[in-house]
Structure 1
């Protein structure tokens, strides 16, 4: 069945329109010019994504599935989660209304625009948001899922988002560590090109090891076979996977020319251990016994001045003077990747790209200053895996000197990830306030092993046994109490890290 098989006056009935997937399906069908009606057992006040339906002429029946809904619908689209034993299917069968699954919508209504995907362990959201800003600034409309308070970088959301109205698709492509997720997104979103920021350990509790996780990310490379791929060439994992998979498309590499901050080991795709002279965690200069080495980069940032937030970028055509509002060497990587994507994918001239970058203040929850209380600045950052924590805290320490770190994380890699994160925090912080139950347990163990750490690790007596949800490791009250304790310490820079810190950042209003 094709889109053209449906008469223009077809009416699609969408059940569960207050849910993410069916909300997107309803908007796709309306964008394509069809009549759409919806129903949901939620009330109008409780409809989570009601706001995204504003501007769409869609009649919605709340709190029931009335007879009128079935009388008007030529086709019914139920939510993926609705069991086939549900009573509503008896009504559909009795009235002999054809059913289309969400997967049918994806198969029938094809992507009708160029689509760019962004994946990686760290930096995806900043990179995606900045690239979209550049597009908007140049009158190019990227598709937006507009699902309030939802990141929407995995499962069906990017796939459906790519089918909404817009000039281009710019999609953040994530995974919860589930093999096949990225493969489905890349294929069903019909990506024309993409970017990989980095690949560092994450989701290891689900996958068993770093290379298992890396090969989940490699689905992005496989999906873009024969197409264009922009990559951080200083990440040996990315470059090793490209070689292992014999990627035949166009590869564009980028990186930075900066002094390494240390040497760390990373597993190579060949099975050996490779030493990386790190510029940021997991990326830098490397040479493995198997011959894998840092390539000559197509785009490279030099003369980086983090204090002034400037650098020079050597491109294949010319040298650019770049001014940004973002802090940290990790954001130099992000900005360079975006410049490449904006030039290569959006086909914009460098001067237009640089104008947008110079006015980009960052993403909420990423190195975000939320308050100054007394003389103490409180900053939150979403960092939630060891590499992200190391990169962010190293940059904070470089910029501000002594810092107090409030930990609200519960690692998706389990106890091993929690311990690695704590050790990174221990390395870069003057004081540590563990605000999550996971970090509190590690803190107690550390103090038992080394009582001298009691001066550095300030136990948060407000921590309970909150059960983590993904990377949400602390409650509102625990975050508030953790920041409150940090305010009483002899340190003027407080960094609260983790999903809970960014989600509950308004707790500072009570302080």
Structure 2
């Protein structure tokens, strides 16, 4: 079937079955933005996507089951791929599809509807969500239409970016790669037609799917697809990857601030990708990101976009970051609302991508300075005591988040950390996180992984008393009940000036609801 024949089969309108689901909703919206008459039939009585469907002119028949009139006046049927695996559903579909209308699914969408716009794909270990949202914001504030999938999900599957890229817009910005599985990024980036790839950094994560070398190879799949690459030049792994692809258009971002008192450590834990010897770091800005060199000649590449004069400014119970951004031969002073050195890197990668895509420097800086951050990333959810939640879930992420929060520490307050992290960086990573948390005043282990390494924490540890057995699913390390008990304990320990930091995916998922439950209980007691 060619595209003309396919489009002719949709001429009288079509039905999307399972259109309230993740993939089905995007199929319906793609068809609607090509001026095709679309009706969603779904047994769900309502959907949080209903306002989007109505705005985009999609007809809804919610809370309905298939019957003899379901396909009346239509010329084709689209089915969410999950339903096609359901024998009971497919039997019903065949019974009511009396006119033998063609039945399509995601394969036809991928084949016949191309993005026809620039597509930026963002991957990496830490910072990819914030970088994705920052790039989107930069373009949106400069009057570009950037499509959003509108789904309530953490992370993404291989179908979501590919479908999001096909929604109506001037440019698509997609987060790609969640689980560190072989082939995941290549398939998703290829189906999304990514032409610019941004890789934020590569550090130890998702090692339940293989070795660190396997994980590196997963992230490298973006290089196989994108013609233009935006890479962190302060990451020796990415610098090495870039040097091996002279056929690609490659731009590097990073930091040049070695004389800054903010950076005093030399984190010497990465080997030269060229000769295998231990790299010499002149300065480490963030874990393995810094100024490095090897006796074999391997060193930082020339940076196209970089930061100097970085300052962390405390404002009450929050912090902001100021620095000077350089675009080859132009500079601007900038203030970020979202603080921390990790967000300097996120902003630099975003600025580099926008600059290469053609935005002028003033427009980029305006976008960076007005970006408010991403929910679940250093998000403040309570005052007196201050409570912050963050998605940090591996050693590099925990280190930068904790160091940012420690900027708020005074002689009058304490830092209390609630650790909900699931073991994704292996036993070695769990131990590394435990040692990092020794910088806090009190640690409350909540997840199974965090309770197994408390002997490595050199500070006051207060365990929860829960007997709840929780078998973690994926990257969620704690149950809602465990997080609630941890927060209740933290609030009991904390004084008004203290700061409670909840880290890990479970912390982000459940901290708000747990906190609201506890506060409501306290009000009822009064």
TM-score (normalised: structure 1): 0.90
Distance, in Å, in 2 between the alignment partners of 1:84 and 1:486 is 46
Q: Shift of the alpha carbon at 1:424?
A: 2.5
Q: Which moved more, 1:428-437 or 1:285-294?
A: 285-294
Assess if the C-alpha contact under 8 Å between 2:71 and 2:97 holds in 1: no
Provide the rounded CA distance (Å) in 2 between the counterparts of 1:484 and 1:84. Answer: 43
Q: What do the CA deviations read for 1:429-469 (whole angstroms, capped 9, x no partner)?
A: 221111223212332x558xxxxx5x611111136221212
Q: Which residue of 1 aligns with 2:409?
A: 400
For 1:413 and 1:48, the matched residues in 2 are separated by: 35
Task: Confirm whether residue 425 of structure 1 aligns to residue 426 of structure 2.
Answer: no
1:26 is displaced (CA, Å) by: 0.7
Alignment partners' CA distance in 1, 2:504 and 2:275:
32
User: Does the residue aligned with 1:54 lie in a helix, a strand or coil?
Assistant: helix
CA distance in 2, matches of 1:40, 1:256: 51
* Alpha-carbon separation, structure 1, partners of 2:303 and 2:256: 10
Query: Which secondary structure state, in structure 1, belongs to the residue aligned with residue 208 of structure 2?
Result: helix
Q: State the distance in 1 between where 2:206 and 2:198 align.
A: 20
CA contact (8 A) 1:440 1:460 kept: no
Tell me the equivalent position of 1:127. Answer: 131
Give CA deviations for 1:186-211 in whole Å, capped at 9, x if unaligned: 1111112121111111111112x111
Q: Distance in 1 between the 2:507 and 2:51 partners?
A: 26
Corresponding position of 1:253: 252
CA contact (8 A) 2:434 2:456 kept: no
Say whether the 8 Å CA contact 1:435–1:463 is kept in structure 2: no
Q: Does 1:90 align with 2:94?
A: yes
- State the partner residue of 2:172: 169
Distance 1:332 1:289 in 2: 29
Match of 2:54 in 1: 54
Superposition pairs of residues 316-331 of structure 1, within 5 angstroms: 316-331=328-343
1:440 and 1:84, CA in 2 relative to 1: closer, same or farther beyond 3 A? closer
**Post-superposition CA distance 1:45-69 (Å, at most 9, x none):** 3x46444423233233534122222
Residue of structure 2 aligned with 1:387, choices 371, 393, 396: 396
Q: 2:192 aligns with which of 189, 193, 198?
A: 189
The root-mean-square deviation of aligned C-alpha atoms, in Å, is: 2.3
Tell me which residue corresponds to 2:365.
354
**Aligned in 2, Cα 1:62/1:217: closer, same or farther, shift over 3 Å?**
same
Task: Give the superposition deviation at 1:76.
Answer: 2.1
Kindly indicate whether residue 205 of structure 2 is the aligned counterpart of residue 202 of structure 1. Answer: yes
* Residues 151/470 of structure 1: CA separation in 2 closer, same or farther (3 Å cut): same
> Which residue in the other structure is 2:312 paired with?
306
1:89-488 to structure 2, matched below 5 A, reads: 89-91=93-95, 95-147=99-151, 149-207=152-210, 209-224=211-226, 227-244=227-244, 246-258=245-257, 259-270=263-274, 272-275=276-279, 276=281, 277-288=283-294, 291-307=297-313, 309-345=321-357, 347-373=358-384, 376-400=385-409, 402-426=414-438, 428-443=439-454, 456-462=460-466, 464-487=468-491, 488=493
Does structure 1 conserve the Cα–Cα contact (< 8 Å) formed by 2:293 and 2:300? yes
**CA distance in structure 2 between the partners assigned to 1:486 and 1:273 by the alignment:** 44
Structure 1 residues 459 and 279, CA gap change in structure 2 (3 angstroms): same
Aligned residues: 493
Q: Is the 8 A contact 1:134 1:353 kept in 2?
A: yes
CA deviations on 1:225-271 (whole Å, 9 max, x unpaired) are xx221111000111122234x24121111111233523231255457
What is the SS of the residue equivalent to 1:358? helix
- Specify every segment of 5 or more residues in structure 1 that has no aligned partner in the other structure, as ranges: 448-452
Q: CA deviation at 1:31?
A: 0.6
Given that residues 412 and 470 in structure 1 are in contact (C-alpha distance below 8 angstroms), is that contact kept between their aligned partners in structure 2? no
1:472-511 equivalences in 2 (<5 Å): 472-487=476-491, 488-489=493-494, 492-506=498-512, 507-509=514-516, 510-511=518-519
Distance 1:104 1:9, change over 3 A: closer
Provide, for residues 336-367 of structure 1, a one-character-per-residue CA deviation record: whole Å limited to 9, x for no partner: 2222222221x222222222322222111111
Task: Tell me by how many angstroms 1:151 deviates.
Answer: 3.6
Is the 1:230–1:253 Cα contact (8 Å) retained in structure 2? yes
Residue 74 of structure 2 is matched in structure 1 by 73
Name the SS of the counterpart of 1:306 in structure 2.
strand
Shift of 1:479: 1.7
Task: Assess if the C-alpha contact under 8 Å between 2:391 and 2:507 holds in 1.
Answer: yes
Deviations 1:166-202 (A, max 9, x none): 1110111123121111111211111121211111111
Instruction: Report the Cα distance in structure 2 between the residues aligned to 1:63 and 1:289, rounded to whole angstroms.
Output: 69
Partners of 1:356 and 1:477 in 2: how far apart? 39
**1:450 corresponds to which residue?**
none
Against the structure 1 CA distance between its residues 437 and 312, is the aligned structure 2 distance closer, same or farther, given a 3 Å change threshold?
Answer: same
Closer, same or farther in 2 for the Cα pair 1:303/1:414, shift >3 Å? Answer: closer
> How many Å separate the matches in 2 of 1:416 and 1:65?
53
Contact 1:211 1:269 (8 Å CA) reproduced: no
Scaled by the length of structure 2, the TM-score of the pair is 0.87
Whether the 8 Å CA contact 2:267–2:287 is kept in 1: the answer is: no
